[in-house]
Amino acid sequence: MTARVPDRPSRPEQGFGAFVRARADAGALVVQPRMGFGDPAWMRAGLAATRAARAHTVGTLTLDSYTRLGDLAAIERALHDGMPLNGYPIATHSDSMTRAVLEGVLDADFPVQVRHGSALPQHIFRRLIALGLTATEGGPVSYCLPYGRVPLADSIDAWRECTELFAQARDLGGEPHLETFGGCMMGQLCPPSQLVALSALEALFFRAHGCRSISVSYAQQTHPGQDTEAVLALRRLCADLLPDVEWHLVVYTYMGAYPVTEAGAYRLLREAAELAVRTGSERLIVKTVAESRRIPTVAENVAALEYAARAAEANRTTAHDPGTDSQTYAEALALVEAVLNLAPDLSRALLLAFRRGYLDIPYCVHPDNRGLTRSRLDEEGRLRWAYTGALPLGHLVRTGRSHKVTAAGLLADLSFLRQKMDREALADRSSTELTGSV
């Protein structure tokens, strides 16, 4: 991969991570959409509307699925035939076109992050560097196992190459920033301890290959108390593991089956905002009322951003950190230490961890995942291990026949939060959530 420093739009010289940190230090939660449109005019309008929203926001260029897969010929055909894309084709649109999308929108007061989903992202990083864009996300595990059949070894090699090249692009202005997607693995039904461990391990991978500005992620799951414990565990781990880099924590609104009612969707988003505030998280990825049906409009994205910001302002309660007494922290630490003890090189350690089952994602069918673990929801709605396979958690987790996972039970667990949010919202029709207020 080669890169040049081109003519480019004005950009935040302080960098994405420093921007978020400055807002957090001032007591604000930064909110961000997952917005992407194939049409440049729509993409520019979406970014401008995000910037103008009544909230502390950063922008998003979410790429289309063809770009994620590297099928650039399919994009050319779609554009030629006038077919809509589900994101922005950054590797196909000309640099001048993308600069026009960003000009006058991207600046020191409004950084933009590129989101994609690619296990082999060399073509994406090549274009980011050419455009002078300094914030993106993903990871060698989290953007490989859930999305296809690319060998994990190939993804690790690709992400090593891209991270090292991206880290060297500091002369573009602003510290290059990478966000690990490890805390969102499979979106749902992965016990929080493994999400925390994967997010921390991918952050260590980025650091090992030169990245000095990192964000670590956690996706909201099924129980607010357990989520609080998980985010605090991730914060504690990163404080110990990343003492020499700039980092912050980003919470994702629930990534699984989303409520079908408007009131239920707002209720779940409010809980995500409250989780972020409660745990001192610096950034929140929002979802909209349209998530269960279609790609959201610009207006729906802005409404979600502003609602989340109001919810954060209205709920400033801080959780007590349980520290090392947390079950989630104990499990996550055991997983991280087991992986790091496999090999001095983290790339090698990650490969060995999956081969030996020290990391094993429930319900993930990728060939490099052993698939011996299972999860379940308990009577309180907390995510628990049903089977731990070869995970190094035998001293911390008890499983047995009473935890048998059935097809009916799995389907019920997958729809648990959607039904819960819709049911509670419908039972409280007088809630002001119906109008999008807190």
- Residue-by-residue DSSP string for 367-417: TTS---EEEEE-TTS-EEEEEETT-S-TTT----GGG---HHHHHHHHTHH
Say what the pTM is: 0.90
The torsion angles phi and psi of 303, rounded to 5 degrees, stand at -60, -40
Per-residue pLDDT at 6: 35
Residue 431: is its pLDDT beyond 60?
no
CB 332 within 8 A of CB 197: yes
Choose the weakest-confidence range: 56-65, 246-255, 261-270, 327-336. 261-270
DSSP state of 290: T
DSSP state of 63: B
Say how far apart CA 260 and CA 32 lie, in whole Å.
22
Task: Quickly count: other Cβ atoms within 10 Å of residue 81's Cβ.
Answer: 7
CB 87 within 8 A of CB 37: yes
Per-residue pLDDT at 263: 83
Cα dihedral 35, 256, 205, 21, rounded to 10, equals 50
Residue 250: is its pLDDT beyond 70?
yes
Per-residue pLDDT at 247: 96
Q: What are the E-state strand segments in 281-345?
A: 283-285
Per-residue pLDDT at 429: 60
User: Treating both helix axes as pointing N-terminal to C-terminal, what angle do 152-167 and 122-131 enclose, rounded to 10 degrees?
Assistant: 10
Per-residue pLDDT at 140: 97
Say how far apart CA 38 and CA 432 lie, in whole Å.
35
State percent of the chain over pLDDT 70: 91
The tokens describing 9, both together, are 């739009």
CB 382 within 8 A of CB 189: no
Per-residue pLDDT at 320: 66
Give 406 or 58, the one with higher predicted confidence: 58
Per-residue pLDDT at 293: 74
The C-alpha angle with vertex 99 and arms to 13 and 178, in degrees rounded to 5, equals 50
End-to-end CA distance of the chain: 48
Residue 23: is its pLDDT beyond 60?
yes
Per-residue pLDDT at 419: 72
Residues contacting 311, CB < 8 A, separation 6+: 269, 270, 273, 274, 438
Per-residue pLDDT at 1: 36
The C-alpha angle with vertex 215 and arms to 213 and 216, in degrees rounded to 5, equals 140
Per-residue pLDDT at 258: 84
DSSP track, 305-318: HHHHHHHHHH----
What is the edge-to-edge ordering of all strands in the sheet holding 177-180?
30-32, 283-285, 246-252, 213-219, 177-180, 135-138, 112-115, 59-62
Express each pLDDT in 182-214 by its tens digit: 999 877 789 999 999 999 999 999 999 999 999
Q: Domain ranges for the chain, please list them.
A: 1-438
Residue 240: is its pLDDT beyond 50?
yes
Per-residue pLDDT at 172: 65
Per-residue pLDDT at 406: 75
3-class state of residue 165 by DSSP = helix
Express each pLDDT in 93-118 by its tens digit: 999 999 999 999 999 899 999 999 89
Q: pLDDT tier at 437 (50, 70, 90 boundaries)? A: low
| CATH 3.20.20.240, domain 1-438, yes or no | yes
3-class state of residue 61 by DSSP = strand
